[in-house]
Structure 1
Amino acid sequence: MDNLESLVITRRLRVPLDPAPGTSRPGRGEAAARRLDAALLSAGFTCSPALLERLSRLPGESVIDLGARILAAVRHLAGDHVRHNAYFIDFPRNVPDTAEFWAGLLRRALPDPDASAQAVTPRTLNLLTLPGYGRYPHTHADLVAAHAELIPLAGDRVTVLDLGGDLRSEARELYLSLAGSQVPLPAEDLTALRELAAYCAGHCPELAAAEAPETVPVRENRAVVNEARLAAGLPLLVDTVTDVLRLACGASGGDVTLATATRFRSFRRAERRALLRALDAVATQAALGEVPRLREQWKRLGERLHPHEYPHLPRAAHVFDVARGELRARGLGSRVEEALAAGRTQEAAELLSGSPGALLRRLDHLLRTGTEQERVLAAAATAARAASGRVLLSLREHLHNRLAPAAGRVFVNRHGRAWTSADTRPPLAPDVLSQVAELLDEEITRRLPDLGRVVVEPAMLDVALPLSAKAVVPGLGMLPRGSLSPVEGELLRFFVHWRQAGRRTDYDLSALMLDEEYGDPEYVSWTNYTNDFATYSGDLTSAPDGASEFIDIDLGRATRPVIVPQVNIYAGEPFDEAAEAFFGFMTRDAAQQGLPFEPRTVRMKSDLRGAGRVALPLVFLRGGDGGWRAKWLHLYLKGHPAFNQVEGNRVSTALLVRSIVERDHLTVRYLTGLLARRGSTGERTTYLGLRAPADAPQGATVHTPATLHELIPA
């Protein structure tokens, strides 16, 4: 239950409480509630008036117990659950010159400084093994004693925690939001959905009867929901054979995205019967074309399900016959590729007509390879009426960016791994692009719900629509890839913290600075501690008990308009194998001192994960007005197995960042424009903002970035 409570607090910024009034005398819990609010303020959070009033009516001991759980959840959200030390105790002051620092280490390493020429052989000297290097030379208590207390300013972050309903209703609401998401979820949200689905199957029986397949549109989400339904003996939500394979993988503790092979467990007879019945119901001749793509996983599953024991389910057995090569079934993709390679564009369009989403994803290719564009456009118009809203929005964004030449094409996989290539596609006629764009705008507008009177916080307008959330790890202040957000404050500070799980692990925080043309690179890292406007806190080379690194940027003195923070894996465990790894940034005014890490100044923090060895969370850009904004990347470079440094990836990073920065993403501004064009007859109010407002009208619906996926039309 504590984990569910923490999920609600961190994902919804609401504290679940039973609505029944407290049994204690009025005011008995008031002192404890005030102490809790003061402790929350030190981490950059505060209780809403409604939450404070409700806590005040509880017994004091109950407030203390609940307060400990609330504090643990929000401190973890802001990265304040660990003690952040810095290699240089006075950071950002008194950081030595890089050459001076290394010369000092060398002098201390020599038994006789006067014999340095005879004692050192530069060709064989490993500077990283010098005594004292890469480990904290002082304790956290020493660091605290060396720094003044943070001066609170009005610009410090204060995130409001609101009063929620009881845990059952809050868990049910979060479950429906994640299960009904129109966009794929990150791995962390899939894990949360799995726990919520199991809880709701036992505590929210009304969901079992009311749930319909179309309410779980994303396949991975559906597999997780089906795990709970299989365990509870409820009907399964499947409409493709791959849905059954995903469910079997999830029920075996494997990967429901099917990106990695799963070692299937032994299923109980009732489970085998349920899986084979579901498979038999959807294994049509056309559906068998999906099987060869995942042939090996199907063969392994057949060894566990024993389909020969169920002769009354012959279509289920055909799936495994295809996997073993005893039956031949061609997939849609191979037939389409064959038609396109032969120049039969109309045939390819007809083949894709039965799969509207696939047709729209290939529309650019169809328009480029065929001469019968009118027929292709007619097929696209028909497909648009049946495809998902996420596909329509993705195509709309793609077509908009086809009008302007880009620095390069960007490809991003499900793990956030990114790479670029030159754009060699021939251009599409502007009138064709305009025709398809207008068609998509009309269809998207038709599907948008009536939100009534829409009130939008200006900063929310530049938040990108979450067309995929797989690479966006949940955290504090997180926005979808492509979002722009203002950066306030005079000092910008990046931070990374990691703790190794088993072997020595060395992460390096670095910053790449580029000019207006994304060239003339300059950097700050463990090989170059300072420049005119940036300072590095010092290099830690192992983290058995955790390590933190920081980079300070004086925005007023910055001579480069493009600043790219990155985290390089120099040695040891990947991001998703470390015991803990997270990145974030803080903003401060020049008058503020304080510790290197002050949770009240944290604007963004999230875990690091992904298959790459170089993390690029976001880029900071100076506009023509002199103001700074962040554009969110959520990208990873492949990098090298070891010894990654900012100097080694500056060219690929510059090209990738430029390609993302110059790409126009569909934002909330686009969505509200469509809503305004259509008009509204509703009387309710919908508020769109980075945070829930304290003075929202009674009954208003509030959407923040955490729930923006709910506005993606079905």
Structure 2
Amino acid sequence: MIDRLEPLVIRHTLRVPTPTGPVGEGATAARQLDAVLLSVGFKLSAELLERLSGLSEETVVRIAGRTLSTVRELVGDHVRHNVYFINFPAGVPDTVDFWMSCVADALCDEKTRAGTLDQLRTGVVNLLSLPAYGRYQHTYADMLAAQDELIATAGDRITVLHAGGDLADELTALYLALAGSDTPLGEEHRRDLRALAERCVDGPQPEAIPVRENRAIVNQARLTAGSAPLLDTVTDVLRLACALSDGDVTLAEATRFRSLSRPVRRALLAGLDAVVAASPAKLADVAVHREEWKRLGERLHPHEYPQWPHAAEVFAVARGERKAPSFEGRVEELLAVNDVLGAVELLKSAPGKLFRALDRLLRTALTQEERDAVVAAAEQVVPEVSGRVALSVREHLHNRARETGELRVFVNRRGRAWVTDDERSVVGPAERARLIAAIDDETRRRLPCPERLLVDPDMLDVALPLSGKATAAGLGVLPRGSVSPVEGELLRFFVYWKETEQRTDFDLSALLLNADYSTNTWLSYTSLTEVEGEHSGDITEAPDGASEFIDLRLGAVRGAFVVPQVNIFAGEDFEEVEESFFGFMLREGEQRGRPFEPRTVRLKSELRGAGRVALPLVFLRGEDGRWRAKWLHLYLKGSPSANRVEENRVTVATLLRGIVEREQLTVRHLVGLMAGEATTVTLWDGETVPDGPVTYIGLRRPDGLPEGSRIVTPENLRDLIPA
């Protein structure tokens, strides 16, 4: 069981857990592992290579098998990436010429000739009816034989794997980090936390579990292990019930509650009774999830347990038999009569909710006295507001400096995005300045004050991970809004998907926009070749998995934005397919190689979101002519079928403008707050190793940092957010 959890440590930390024995002659096997890892863009650190060399050969081989399997999946090399046009990117035909060749092939086939002639008489031909269209015409082995080996260059990606400690200790440390995270986790991280909690529930626990979704997962493990769950709100009980039914602990999606065993029902009702008995006011939270409580009551049968009368009150409130006005309802009543001062006084008892309501309160206030009262209340309670909420509000206030009439972008927990005109009245500059100053002062007070701070310049424009839902699982993935440089002449996108039950057709496309967000051109299955590049060909089914690629020559791009997107033309959505991911590779000039070369992969991101159109990121050309990537992690609702880049380009352009013109709170902001008389900040040149311990913040962990250094990379960037 514990060995099966080893990939979690490698994925989350890029450290390889190493046992303490038995000792032996593992040097040859370790060097062989290092050589094989290089072929997929990874290598062993000097310390890890030395440590493995001192173990027995059998132990090294066992570690090598698990490590290689994990990193290959991390980069997307665990599947076969075939292409429709066997010589791609060479030999891609003109779109119309290709379609005509498919028609000609169908006319030469006795089985399809008659049907094709009938379609031609109507003037419309269904491409999917043509036997040569949408299905691989050669095997994966045939494709490999037709392609050249990769010509390695210094620009190929190399990700260093570092030495970890004992596997049990690494798992415990990872469990504590995930369970105690101050920011919500993404879906994959929650799955990993569930697996870790099952093993670690009887060991060391975090001092606090501030994120309620994480608490629900830990509570499930505690209940299964026979320990009492950690409950202090009625919603904690509801989330735990969702976890026990393999439902959504975020409560964003409805859970179909399972029949629960009598011991579990007793535990939930007893916990619910204790919460309400200790604080009857918490019944006010029931109304927020009234329908969920009513459905859960059908499974818990509270009427069978008269010894817990307070638990029964919860379901009475849910059914409307007892009144328990919610906190939010009381605030709404005050604002309905324009009693801003009364609403502020009430909200001071819930600092986080006060901060989330600041914009509305300032817009509702009619007098300067009321606006001053709102700001004064925020200044008073800011020490009690979580760092994540305070920074989120700080980012919001910064962007409210823009004039009215701008675009307002909404993104829900599942990455679904939509945009509308921002018709809100402005927030006064004096109030904004006071609030921003108060938040910055409080953030500075909470941040560590290292003596020496070493910062990778490429990390400065990485957005702060204020929510794990604003990113995706994978390699090289950064939080939504992050900007990073793109170094290379040839940009190659790829998408892979494997259907679960029904025929599924994903279409990789690239929309090229001008500086004013108007359409320049696009590459897709309807436009296989353009000045900028080539499309690898349309694959319309994926029972064994399928891939599509787009090559772009950045120097030839005529627009200012390149927006890769994945459109679902037919079949299962991103959350129904067995597997789906997007990524991009960077190559130098005429650097040859097969369509998929793991050493050149810079990003591999899982596609798991609500919608039929995925927008993973956008590439922007700066005023200096250099290209940068900005992470989106967004999904559009799209149509039930036949989504195409031509049909959604206006929607995409409008959404993109709202995202690009919004300024994110980045690592640069926190570094600026930490810099001061007691802290020396140095920008890392990529080579020089400091002579003493430092706090290092960068995209990748350097080899050879002095012992005692604190290291912050994208994998643990959430730890930099002050509690």
TM-score (norm 2): 0.94
After superposition, the C-alpha distances for 1:303-335 in whole angstroms (9 at most, x for unaligned) are 333434544433222111111222111112222
Mind listing any 5+ residue stretches in structure 1 that lack a counterpart? none
Q: CA deviation at 1:450?
A: 3.1
- The structure-2 alpha-carbon separation of the partners of 1:491 and 1:44, relative to structure 1 and needing over 3 Å to count, comes to same
* C-alpha RMSD of matched pairs (Å): 2.0
Q: Does 1:75 align with 2:72?
A: yes
Q: Distance in 2 between matches of 1:681 and 1:607?
A: 38
Q: CA deviation at 1:111?
A: 4.2
Match of 1:380 in 2: 378
Q: Distance in 2 between matches of 1:468 and 1:496?
A: 25
Match of 1:707 in 2: 716
Give the counterpart letter for 1:105 in structure 2.
C
Q: Distance in 1 between matches of 2:717 and 2:650?
A: 34
Spell out the pairing of 1:256-275 with structure 2 (5 A cutoff). 256-275=249-268
Q: Distance in 1 between matches of 2:340 and 2:435?
A: 18
Q: CA deviation at 1:123?
A: 4.1
After superposition, the C-alpha distances for 1:116-144 in whole angstroms (9 at most, x for unaligned) are 98872244521222121001111111111
- The structure-2 alpha-carbon separation of the partners of 1:452 and 1:168, relative to structure 1 and needing over 3 Å to count, comes to farther
Q: Distance in 1 between matches of 2:309 and 2:541?
A: 58
1:463–1:485: 8 Å Cα contact kept in structure 2? yes
Spell out the pairing of 1:381-460 with structure 2 (5 A cutoff). 381-405=379-403, 407-460=406-459
1:450–1:681: 8 Å Cα contact kept in structure 2? no
Give the counterpart letter for 1:392 in structure 2.
A
Q: Does 1:329 align with 2:324?
A: yes
Q: Distance in 1 between matches of 2:156 and 2:94?
A: 31
- The structure-2 alpha-carbon separation of the partners of 1:124 and 1:520, relative to structure 1 and needing over 3 Å to count, comes to closer
- The structure-2 alpha-carbon separation of the partners of 1:317 and 1:449, relative to structure 1 and needing over 3 Å to count, comes to farther
Q: CA deviation at 1:443?
A: 1.1
Secondary structure at the counterpart of residue 87 of structure 2: coil
Secondary structure at the counterpart of residue 236 of structure 1: coil
1:445–1:678: 8 Å Cα contact kept in structure 2? no
2:235–2:285: 8 Å Cα contact kept in structure 1? yes
Give the counterpart letter for 1:449 in structure 2.
P
Match of 2:357 in 1: 362
After superposition, the C-alpha distances for 1:542-581 in whole angstroms (9 at most, x for unaligned) are 0011110000010111111100000000000011110110
Q: CA deviation at 1:77?
A: 0.3
Q: Does 1:48 align with 2:41?
A: no
Spell out the pairing of 1:52-63 with structure 2 (5 A cutoff). 52-63=49-60
Q: Distance in 2 between matches of 1:9 and 1:588?
A: 26
Q: Does 1:107 align with 2:104?
A: yes
Q: CA deviation at 1:452?
A: 3.6
Q: CA deviation at 1:104?
A: 1.3
Q: Does 1:317 align with 2:309?
A: no
Q: Does 1:145 align with 2:165?
A: no
Give the counterpart letter for 2:362 in structure 1.
L
Q: Distance in 1 between matches of 2:443 and 2:271?
A: 33
Name whichever of 107-116 and 609-618 sits farther off: 107-116
1:23–1:58: 8 Å Cα contact kept in structure 2? yes
Give the counterpart letter for 1:340 in structure 2.
L
Q: Does 1:288 align with 2:283?
A: yes
Give the counterpart letter for 1:707 in structure 2.
N
After superposition, the C-alpha distances for 1:634-668 in whole angstroms (9 at most, x for unaligned) are 00000000000001110110011111111100000
Secondary structure at the counterpart of residue 509 of structure 2: strand
Q: Distance in 1 between matches of 2:299 and 2:646?
A: 51
Q: Distance in 2 between matches of 1:236 and 1:679?
A: 43
Q: CA deviation at 1:268?
A: 4.1
Give the counterpart letter for 1:187 in structure 2.
E
Give the counterpart letter for 1:335 in structure 2.
R
Q: CA deviation at 1:362?
A: 0.9
1:495–1:585: 8 Å Cα contact kept in structure 2? yes
2:450–2:678: 8 Å Cα contact kept in structure 1? no
After superposition, the C-alpha distances for 1:21-48 in whole angstroms (9 at most, x for unaligned) are 4332xxx221111111111111001111
1:452–1:684: 8 Å Cα contact kept in structure 2? no
- The structure-2 alpha-carbon separation of the partners of 1:554 and 1:332, relative to structure 1 and needing over 3 Å to count, comes to same
Q: Distance in 2 between matches of 1:112 and 1:143?
A: 25
1:497–1:547: 8 Å Cα contact kept in structure 2? yes
Give the counterpart letter for 1:197 in structure 2.
A
Match of 1:32 in 2: 29
Secondary structure at the counterpart of residue 468 of structure 2: coil
Q: Distance in 1 between matches of 2:96 and 2:252?
A: 46
Spell out the pairing of 1:309-708 with structure 2 (5 A cutoff). 309-370=304-365, 371=367, 372-405=370-403, 407-677=406-676, 679-680=678-679, 685-708=694-717
Q: Distance in 2 between matches of 1:126 and 1:118?
A: 11
Q: Distance in 1 between matches of 2:119 and 2:408?
A: 53
1:280–1:315: 8 Å Cα contact kept in structure 2? yes
Q: CA deviation at 1:61?
A: 2.4
TM-score (norm 1): 0.95
Identity of aligned residues (%): 57
Match of 2:23 in 1: 23
Secondary structure at the counterpart of residue 77 of structure 2: coil
Q: CA deviation at 1:112?
A: 9.7
Match of 2:13 in 1: 12
After superposition, the C-alpha distances for 1:89-116 in whole angstroms (9 at most, x for unaligned) are 1111111011111111112222499999
1:110–1:119: 8 Å Cα contact kept in structure 2? no
Name whichever of 575-584 and 102-111 sits farther off: 102-111
Name whichever of 224-233 and 544-553 sits farther off: 224-233
Q: Distance in 2 between matches of 1:452 and 1:567?
A: 46
Match of 2:229 in 1: 236
Q: Distance in 2 between matches of 1:118 and 1:484?
A: 52
Number of aligned residue pairs: give it: 703
Q: Distance in 1 between matches of 2:417 and 2:322?
A: 38
Q: Distance in 2 between matches of 1:107 and 1:678?
A: 76
- The structure-2 alpha-carbon separation of the partners of 1:693 and 1:562, relative to structure 1 and needing over 3 Å to count, comes to same
Name whichever of 694-703 and 561-570 sits farther off: 694-703
Give the counterpart letter for 2:17 in structure 1.
P
Q: Distance in 1 between matches of 2:398 and 2:501?
A: 48
Secondary structure at the counterpart of residue 567 of structure 2: strand
1:359–1:380: 8 Å Cα contact kept in structure 2? yes
Q: CA deviation at 1:520?
A: 3.0
Match of 1:245 in 2: 238
Match of 2:179 in 1: 179
Q: Distance in 2 between matches of 1:447 and 1:424?
A: 35
Q: Distance in 2 between matches of 1:198 and 1:654?
A: 45
Give the counterpart letter for 1:218 in structure 2.
V
- The structure-2 alpha-carbon separation of the partners of 1:11 and 1:33, relative to structure 1 and needing over 3 Å to count, comes to same
2:284–2:324: 8 Å Cα contact kept in structure 1? yes
Q: Distance in 1 between matches of 2:257 and 2:531?
A: 57
Match of 2:688 in 1: none
- The structure-2 alpha-carbon separation of the partners of 1:522 and 1:549, relative to structure 1 and needing over 3 Å to count, comes to same
Name whichever of 111-120 and 464-473 sits farther off: 111-120
Give the counterpart letter for 1:365 in structure 2.
R
Q: Distance in 1 between matches of 2:258 and 2:580?
A: 31
Q: Distance in 2 between matches of 1:604 and 1:7?
A: 19
1:255–1:262: 8 Å Cα contact kept in structure 2? yes
Q: Distance in 2 between matches of 1:454 and 1:72?
A: 35
Q: Distance in 2 between matches of 1:627 and 1:52?
A: 37
Corresponding residue to 2:214 among 216, 221, 227: 221
Q: Distance in 2 between matches of 1:710 and 1:641?
A: 40
Q: Does 1:88 align with 2:89?
A: no
Q: Distance in 1 between matches of 2:334 and 2:119?
A: 72
Secondary structure at the counterpart of residue 165 of structure 2: coil
Q: Distance in 2 between matches of 1:164 and 1:501?
A: 37
Q: CA deviation at 1:2?
A: 3.5
1:495–1:548: 8 Å Cα contact kept in structure 2? yes
1:407–1:658: 8 Å Cα contact kept in structure 2? no
Give the counterpart letter for 1:4 in structure 2.
L
1:357–1:388: 8 Å Cα contact kept in structure 2? yes
1:336–1:352: 8 Å Cα contact kept in structure 2? yes
Mind listing any 5+ residue stretches in structure 2 that lack a counterpart? 682-691
Q: Distance in 1 between matches of 2:30 and 2:122?
A: 62
